[in-house]
Structure 1
Protein backbone atom coordinates (compact mmCIF):
# COMPACT_ATOMS: atom_id res chain seq x y z
CA UNK A 1 0.00 0.00 0.00
CA UNK A 2 1.18 3.53 -0.78
CA UNK A 3 2.30 5.70 2.11
CA UNK A 4 0.98 9.13 1.12
CA UNK A 5 0.92 12.09 3.50
CA UNK A 6 -1.91 14.49 2.69
CA UNK A 7 -1.90 17.95 4.22
CA UNK A 8 -5.09 19.33 5.72
CA UNK A 9 -3.82 22.91 5.51
CA UNK A 10 -4.85 25.23 2.65
CA UNK A 11 -1.88 24.88 0.28
CA UNK A 12 -3.03 26.90 -2.75
CA UNK A 13 -1.85 30.29 -4.03
CA UNK A 14 -5.43 31.51 -4.55
CA UNK A 15 -7.69 32.46 -1.62
CA UNK A 16 -10.01 29.87 -0.13
CA UNK A 17 -13.66 30.50 -1.00
CA UNK A 18 -16.46 30.22 1.54
CA UNK A 19 -18.82 29.17 -1.29
CA UNK A 20 -17.27 25.73 -1.81
CA UNK A 21 -16.20 22.73 0.26
CA UNK A 22 -12.67 21.53 -0.43
CA UNK A 23 -11.22 18.11 0.32
CA UNK A 24 -8.25 16.06 -0.78
CA UNK A 25 -9.09 12.68 -2.27
CA UNK A 26 -7.03 9.74 -3.52
CA UNK A 27 -7.75 7.31 -6.32
CA UNK A 28 -5.87 4.80 -8.43
CA UNK A 29 -5.43 5.46 -12.13
CA UNK A 30 -5.65 2.77 -14.79
CA UNK A 31 -1.98 1.84 -14.18
CA UNK A 32 -2.56 1.30 -10.46
CA UNK A 33 -0.73 4.48 -9.41
CA UNK A 34 -2.33 6.30 -6.49
CA UNK A 35 -3.04 9.94 -7.29
CA UNK A 36 -4.07 12.75 -4.94
CA UNK A 37 -6.58 15.34 -6.11
CA UNK A 38 -8.39 18.41 -4.83
CA UNK A 39 -12.18 18.08 -4.89
CA UNK A 40 -14.24 21.26 -4.84
CA UNK A 41 -18.01 21.04 -4.41
CA UNK A 42 -20.52 23.86 -3.96
CA UNK A 43 -21.70 24.15 -0.36
CA UNK A 44 -25.06 22.50 0.31
CA UNK A 45 -24.87 20.48 -2.95
CA UNK A 46 -26.67 17.15 -3.18
CA UNK A 47 -26.74 14.32 -5.68
CA UNK A 48 -24.76 14.05 -8.89
CA UNK A 49 -22.99 17.14 -10.19
CA UNK A 50 -21.19 17.97 -13.45
CA UNK A 51 -17.40 17.89 -13.12
CA UNK A 52 -14.22 19.15 -14.76
CA UNK A 53 -10.99 17.20 -14.31
CA UNK A 54 -7.70 19.07 -14.80
CA UNK A 55 -4.31 17.39 -14.87
CA UNK A 56 -0.76 18.47 -15.55
CA UNK A 57 1.60 16.75 -17.98
CA UNK A 58 3.29 14.73 -15.18
CA UNK A 59 6.74 15.49 -16.55
CA UNK A 60 5.85 14.92 -20.21
CA UNK A 61 6.39 17.57 -22.87
CA UNK A 62 3.95 18.13 -25.73
CA UNK A 63 6.65 19.01 -28.28
Structure 2
Protein backbone atom coordinates (compact mmCIF):
# COMPACT_ATOMS: atom_id res chain seq x y z
CA UNK A 1 0.00 0.00 0.00
CA UNK A 2 2.89 2.35 0.68
CA UNK A 3 4.19 1.89 -2.86
CA UNK A 4 0.76 2.66 -4.30
CA UNK A 5 0.49 5.80 -2.15
CA UNK A 6 3.94 6.97 -3.27
CA UNK A 7 3.13 6.51 -6.94
CA UNK A 8 -0.28 8.14 -6.56
CA UNK A 9 1.37 11.21 -5.07
CA UNK A 10 3.94 11.17 -7.89
CA UNK A 11 1.14 11.01 -10.43
CA UNK A 12 -0.65 13.95 -8.78
CA UNK A 13 2.58 15.99 -8.74
CA UNK A 14 3.26 15.12 -12.38
CA UNK A 15 -0.30 16.06 -13.35
CA UNK A 16 0.11 19.42 -11.61
CA UNK A 17 3.30 20.01 -13.61
CA UNK A 18 1.42 18.99 -16.75
CA UNK A 19 -1.43 21.47 -16.12
CA UNK A 20 1.03 24.24 -15.33
CA UNK A 21 2.85 23.48 -18.58
CA UNK A 22 -0.41 23.82 -20.50
CA UNK A 23 -1.17 27.14 -18.78
CA UNK A 24 2.31 28.59 -19.24
CA UNK A 25 4.78 27.46 -21.89
CA UNK A 26 7.59 29.20 -20.02
CA UNK A 27 6.91 27.18 -16.87
CA UNK A 28 9.62 24.59 -17.36
CA UNK A 29 12.39 26.95 -18.37
CA UNK A 30 11.56 29.45 -15.62
CA UNK A 31 11.40 26.78 -12.90
CA UNK A 32 14.45 24.88 -14.15
CA UNK A 33 16.64 27.36 -16.05
CA UNK A 34 19.47 24.83 -16.51
CA UNK A 35 17.19 22.70 -18.72
CA UNK A 36 17.46 24.50 -22.05
CA UNK A 37 15.78 21.97 -24.29
CA UNK A 38 12.00 22.24 -24.09
CA UNK A 39 11.40 18.63 -25.12
CA UNK A 40 13.64 17.20 -22.41
CA UNK A 41 12.13 19.50 -19.82
CA UNK A 42 8.64 18.25 -20.67
CA UNK A 43 9.80 14.64 -20.67
CA UNK A 44 11.45 14.99 -17.27
CA UNK A 45 8.43 16.74 -15.78
CA UNK A 46 5.91 14.28 -17.17
CA UNK A 47 7.77 11.17 -16.08
CA UNK A 48 5.89 10.97 -12.72
CA UNK A 49 2.57 10.86 -14.60
CA UNK A 50 3.62 7.93 -16.76
CA UNK A 51 5.10 5.91 -13.91
CA UNK A 52 2.20 6.67 -11.59
CA UNK A 53 -0.42 5.74 -14.16
CA UNK A 54 1.39 2.52 -15.05
CA UNK A 55 1.78 1.41 -11.44
CA UNK A 56 -1.76 2.39 -10.42
CA UNK A 57 -3.17 0.65 -13.48
CA UNK A 58 -1.16 -2.46 -12.68
CA UNK A 59 -2.30 -2.65 -9.08
CA UNK A 60 -5.94 -1.71 -9.72
CA UNK A 61 -6.79 -3.58 -12.91
CA UNK A 62 -4.25 -6.20 -13.95
CA UNK A 63 -3.98 -7.88 -10.55
CA UNK A 64 -7.76 -7.96 -10.24
CA UNK A 65 -8.37 -9.84 -13.51
CA UNK A 66 -5.24 -11.98 -13.82
CA UNK A 67 -4.79 -14.33 -10.90
Q: Same fold (TM over 0.5)?
A: no
Length-normalised TM-score, structure 1: 0.23
Q: Relative contact order (C-alpha < 8 Å, sep 6+): which is higher?
A: 2
Q: Decide which structure has greater strand share.
A: 1
Length-normalised TM-score, structure 2: 0.22
